Amino acid sequence: MKRTASGPRGRTRAPSRATRWLAPCALLAALIVPVHEARCAPAAPPVATASAGQALYQQGVLGSGEALEAMHDGGVHLQGAAAACVNCHRRSGLGSREGNSSIPPISWRYLVEPRTQTPEDRDLPYVPGMRAEREPYTEATVARAIREGIDSEGKPLSSLMPQYALNDADMQALIGYLKQLDRRRPTGVTDTVLHFATIITPDADPVKRAGMLDVLTHYFADKNVFPLGAVPPLRSSRKMMFMVNRRWELHVWELKGPPDTWGGQLTQFLARQPVFAVLSGLGGKNWAPIHDFCEQEAVPCLFPNVEVPIENDRDFYSVYFSKGVLLESELIAARIVDETGAPQAQGTKEAKAPTHVWQVYRTGDNGERGAQSLATALAAHGIAVSNHALAPGEGIAGALHGIPRSDVLVLWLRPPDIAALARIPPATHTVFMSGLMGGLDSIPLPTSWRGVTRLAYPFDLPEGRRVRVDYAFGWFSIRQIPMVAPQVQADTYLACGLLAETLSHMVDAFVRDYLVERVQDMLERRILTGYYPRLTLAPGQTFASKGGYIVRFAGPDHIKLVADGDWIVP
């Protein structure tokens, strides 16, 4: 387990020989800007492929099925996914920009756009790193650049230019895929309107639903009155030359019936009104149908409010602020393992007698998923776990009867069940509880239980986050938005702000993949991060906040929540 106390490439011509390979992503970077400006991201996880060109671009797999091989001039050998173009130019093909590092767009229209004298003559959306002043590429010059390191004007590219041996079939497949990237048309975008949806499941908490929708509707109204946003981002005149302000329109997609019908309902919603992205949203016990729909339809789903998000390294379009109760289970597991002296994965600790862990949760509630995750984690360390699933109407007293006081109790319960503990003495000397399910700072835990109970807390502490939420809370007050679910409302406001800031940097390049990529780039530089001390999303990551605290009740009255140790990144 890792813990942290804070919240978490001269220009010489390379030899043209088939035995010399360099990463294709770096090659394509050299087609437009010097490669020494480019900094590639870590290899993305494998993704499903629909063509040989896509497999080469995204996965580093040749048409033969063999792994693409690359060799950097410094002698670093790359193979397969590590050599794939997507690592630098991203899934969209539009590249990225981070500080002084520039990764250029390499979708076909950016390569072959005729030379222009002034920005006004350009017929392309503005993208950082684009170079319209150079001679346009052709299929022949792109192939020459890839194989020989010569640019469209016959000049040598950077010494870091990739050269790699692609046969004619693989070369045509790659070029075909770069052309395919330009066949995408903006969806949910008109000359005057950007359409967004928010999705609500039938079992979503009605109080949280009201609070979330209140924030969304007010933010959209403000955005349309002040098109540049409540806090206008810094803009260059070059960007502004291309920018067209569009009105934001929100569509609320309320699902009905059982989860196996939600996919069909979403298909109908999307057919009636295409949207550019799904923003925020609220789920109950099952978000998987919405997650799967967004992945299948390539619709970005940005920061939904769900306690059990979907974990899948192959997915791209869904991003979350946190792993929710799954993160809580990791935090609790880390603490139990530390305190019981259970053997670590590397065997660095001498094992003591494993403590028995008892878990209590309601059947079908999200705590069941948290309990399953925790049991799996503890089993890897030889710790026995017993689970008690409360049936509908069953009280908690029976579930706690007979638990040895020296064992560990973990409760995955909602406020009504927690309040009912007032009639029951603490069952053990060591109790852990889900803070997210229990109500965080407003958890109704009886005083008699506070001395022995600690909470999993996947957020910054109140004192630490205050300055980062004050702006949002002040905005709520000015617009007379009731604070009925502060964390959900703060997350919704943060999601809206991130979307507005990201779109301002995208200018008019309305490509869904590019939206997700720009969100990833923006997050790390975000100062106001709401309930979270830090947010980051590297390519291939799904969860922006990576850790949390174990907290305890302090003071003579056991009211104040304080950290029981450092911020933990499991």
Confidence band for 395, pLDDT divided at 50, 70 and 90: very high
Confidence band for 244, pLDDT divided at 50, 70 and 90: low
Q: Among candidates 124, 118, 139, 142, which has minimal Cα distance to 32?
A: 142
Q: What is the pLDDT of residue 237?
A: 41
Q: Do the domains spanning 193-322+463-523 and 325-457+549-569 agree at the CATH topology level?
A: yes
Q: Which of 181-195, 307-321, 350-364 has the lowest mean pLDDT?
A: 350-364
Average pLDDT over residues 246-264: 97
Average pLDDT over residues 41-56: 62
Instruction: Tell me how far apart the alpha carbons of residues 125 and 128 are, in angstroms, rounded to a whole number.
Output: 10
Confidence band for 43, pLDDT divided at 50, 70 and 90: very low
Q: What is the pLDDT of residue 15?
A: 36
Q: What is the pLDDT of residue 44?
A: 45
- Predicted confidence (pLDDT) at residue 36 exceeds the cutoff of 60: no
Look up residue 470 and give its two tokens.
């004050």
Confidence band for 524, pLDDT divided at 50, 70 and 90: confident
Total Cβ atoms within 10 A of residue 64:
10
- Predicted confidence (pLDDT) at residue 160 exceeds the cutoff of 60: no
Confidence band for 327, pLDDT divided at 50, 70 and 90: very high
More confident residue, 301 or 113: 301
Q: Name residue 387's beta-bridge partners.
A: 359
Confidence band for 186, pLDDT divided at 50, 70 and 90: confident
Q: What is the pLDDT of residue 120?
A: 59
- The answer to whether 380 and 408 are in contact (CB under 8 A) is no
Q: Which long-range contacts (CB under 8 A, 24 or more apart) does 143-148 make?
A: 143/171, 143/175, 145/27, 145/30, 145/31, 146/24, 146/27, 146/171, 146/174, 147/16, 147/18, 148/16
- Predicted confidence (pLDDT) at residue 45 exceeds the cutoff of 90: no
- Predicted confidence (pLDDT) at residue 197 exceeds the cutoff of 90: yes
Average pLDDT over residues 531-551: 95
CATH number, domain 325-457+549-569: 3.40.50.2300
- Predicted confidence (pLDDT) at residue 353 exceeds the cutoff of 90: no
Average pLDDT over residues 31-49: 43
- Predicted confidence (pLDDT) at residue 38 exceeds the cutoff of 70: no
User: Residue 316: is it exposed, middle or buried by C-beta count within 10 angstroms (0-12/13-18/19+)?
Assistant: buried
Q: Which of 94-98, 249-253, 479-483, 546-550 has the lowest mean pLDDT?
A: 94-98
C-alpha separations of 349 from 41, 189, 337 in Å: 35, 57, 10
Average pLDDT over residues 371-389: 96
More confident residue, 17 or 211: 211
- Predicted confidence (pLDDT) at residue 22 exceeds the cutoff of 50: no
- Predicted confidence (pLDDT) at residue 293 exceeds the cutoff of 60: yes
Q: Kindly state the percentage of the chain with pLDDT values over 70.
A: 82
Confidence band for 148, pLDDT divided at 50, 70 and 90: confident
Confidence band for 555, pLDDT divided at 50, 70 and 90: confident
Average pLDDT over residues 111-129: 76
Q: What is the pLDDT of residue 352?
A: 54
Instruction: Supply the mean pLDDT for the chain.
Output: 85
Confidence band for 342, pLDDT divided at 50, 70 and 90: low
Average pLDDT over residues 127-141: 86
Q: What is the pLDDT of residue 117?
A: 64
The CATH H-level superfamily of 193-322+463-523 is Response regulator (3.40.50.2300)
How are the residues of the chain apportioned to helix, strand and coil, as percentages rounded to the nearest 5? Answer: 40, 15, 45
Q: What is the pLDDT of residue 562?
A: 96
More confident residue, 539 or 536: 536
Q: Which of 270-284, 317-331, 352-366 has the lowest mean pLDDT?
A: 352-366
Instruction: Tell me how far apart the alpha carbons of residues 421 and 417 are, in angstroms, rounded to a whole number.
Output: 7
Q: Among candidates 9, 12, 158, which has minimal Cα distance to 88?
A: 9
Q: What is the pLDDT of residue 35?
A: 40
Domain spans of the chain, in order of start: 9-183, 193-322+463-523, 325-457+549-569
Q: What is the pLDDT of residue 239?
A: 44
Look up residue 61 and give its two tokens.
């797999």
The SS3 call for residue 235 is coil
CA triplet 433, 435, 440: central angle to 5 degrees? 140
